[in-house]
Amino acid sequence: MSLFSLFGALEIGLIFSLVALGVFISFRLLRFPDLTVDGSFPLGGAVAAILIASGWDPFTATLVATAAGALAGVATAMLNVHLKIMDLLASILMMIALYSINLRIMGSPNVPLIMEPTLFSVLQPTWLTDYIARPLILVAIVLLAKVGLDLYFSTQQGLAIRATGSNPRMARAQGINTGAMIILGMAISNGLVALGGALFAQSQGGADISMGIGTIVIGLAAVIVGESILPSRKLLLATLAVIVGAIVYRFFIALALNSEFIGLQAQDLNLITAVLVVICLVIPLAKKRLLRRRNV
């Protein structure tokens, strides 16, 4: 594997760690199986790309994209909380609705960003080449997001969101408006995913309507890989695990695709993902069996 593809994998891994953090919030903290992600990731990309292409500065464009994702999360949560639609179904409905919305926003199936300034081109110091500068910028953004989440989820409000996911009946009995907490949590989750989408579009030279396909699988894979590398119930470590998981996952993919002797090609990506997730899910079980055999 070349150094170039190594940095490429790190870059995409870091971007997807934002997605994975979002998925962690919905699936793990709120226990809300949220597939909106497949729509809010390209939504972030679409909004950022179209705004930058029409002359907005990349910072504002990225912020607006994040807010758009948050709004999508609010919509899914409201379908569930106020209209009593089952969580999974609500998120699937939102996901397919977003496909059309994203096409509307972009006006065409893709919006290229070739010469336009991006967050990366603006922040990149002149003495650094872009394949090193980009991961560095992303590390800063991801760390900021991680620390922000760690702090937020240890506040009274953050704790109320975690209680809502863990035991909604108890949460209500403690005076927590669980519906409002689900909406808030889903906004944060999908905002992060859209931020990932906005950065992805800017790093990969444009937004594409199909860029969201399988986002949820990648996000979940990252969460599961992370949890098997660094199993911890402590929030500080759990968010770190999710980030590590996203990067490790991306390295595995790059390794598999770049090792010619295995003979895998780009179209095998989803198969590799599935196998990787199965391996990570089986590891704890195998470990337990091994320990038991040793004790006998």
Partner 1 sequence: MLSAKDLKITFNPGTPIENPALRGLSLDIPNGQFVTVIGSNGAGKSTFLNAVSGDLAIDSGQIVIDDTDVTKQPVWERAKRVARVFQDPMAGTCEDLTIEENMALAQQRGERRGLGKAVRASMRDGFRESLATLGLGLENRLSDRIGLLSGGQRQAVSLLIAALQPSRILLLDEHTAALDPRTADFVLQLTARIVAEKQLTTMMVTHSMRQALDVGERTVMLHQGQVVLDVSGEERKGMDVPDLLAMFEKVRGEKLSDDALLLS
Q: What is the C-alpha separation between 22 and 127, in angstroms, rounded?
A: 33
Question: Is 147 among the residues that bind partner 1 (CB under 8 A)?
Answer: no
Tell me the two tokens of residue 58. 């990349």
Tell me the two tokens of residue 43. 């939504």
Task: List the one residue from 61, 162, 220, 280 that touches partner 1 (CB under 8 A).
Answer: 162
* Backbone angles phi and psi of 159, in degrees to 5: -65, -35
Q: How many CB atoms lie within 10 A of CB 287?
A: 11
* Backbone angles phi and psi of 207, in degrees to 5: -105, 150
- Alpha-carbon Rg for the chain, nearest whole angstrom, is 19
Least separation in angstroms between residue 33's CB and partner 1 is 17
Least separation in angstroms between residue 85's CB and partner 1 is 19
Which residues contact residue 132 at a Cβ distance below 8 angstroms, ignoring those fewer than 6 apart?
7
Question: Is 84 among the residues that bind partner 1 (CB under 8 A)?
Answer: no
Task: List the one residue from 88, 89, 96, 170 that touches partner 1 (CB under 8 A).
Answer: 170
Tell me the two tokens of residue 59. 């910072």
DSSP-derived letter for residue 49 is H
Least separation in angstroms between residue 185's CB and partner 1 is 13
* Backbone angles phi and psi of 55, in degrees to 5: 100, 0
Question: Is 267 among the residues that bind partner 1 (CB under 8 A)?
Answer: no
Question: Is 60 among the residues that bind partner 1 (CB under 8 A)?
Answer: no
Give the binding range for partner 1 (CB under 8 A) out of 61-69, 125-133, 137-145, 152-160: 152-160
> Per DSSP, what are the bridge partners of residue 57?
none
Question: Is 173 among the residues that bind partner 1 (CB under 8 A)?
Answer: yes
Give the binding range for partner 1 (CB under 8 A) out of 82-90, 167-175, 252-260, 288-296: 167-175
Which residues contact residue 35 at a Cβ distance below 8 angstroms, ignoring those fewer than 6 apart?
88, 91, 92, 95, 216
For residue 277, give the amino acid letter: V
Question: Is 178 among the residues that bind partner 1 (CB under 8 A)?
Answer: yes
Task: List the one residue from 54, 60, 100, 167 that touches partner 1 (CB under 8 A).
Answer: 167
Closer residue to partner 1 (CB): 233 or 293:
233
Question: Is 232 among the residues that bind partner 1 (CB under 8 A)?
Answer: no
Question: Is 79 among the residues that bind partner 1 (CB under 8 A)?
Answer: no
Which residues contact residue 267 at a Cβ distance below 8 angstroms, ignoring those fewer than 6 apart?
none
Closest CA relative to residue 214, chosen from 12, 37, 10, 32: 37
Total residues contacting partner 1 by CB under 8 A comes to 24
Least separation in angstroms between residue 150's CB and partner 1 is 12
Torsion over CA of 180, 185, 186 and 191, rounded to 10 degrees? Answer: 130
Question: Is 242 among the residues that bind partner 1 (CB under 8 A)?
Answer: no
Give the binding range for partner 1 (CB under 8 A) out of 81-89, 132-140, 162-170, 276-284: 162-170
Least separation in angstroms between residue 153's CB and partner 1 is 9
Task: List the one residue from 84, 104, 169, 292 that touches partner 1 (CB under 8 A).
Answer: 169
Instruction: Give residues in contact with partner 1 (CB under 8 A).
Output: 152, 154-160, 162-163, 165-167, 169-178, 233
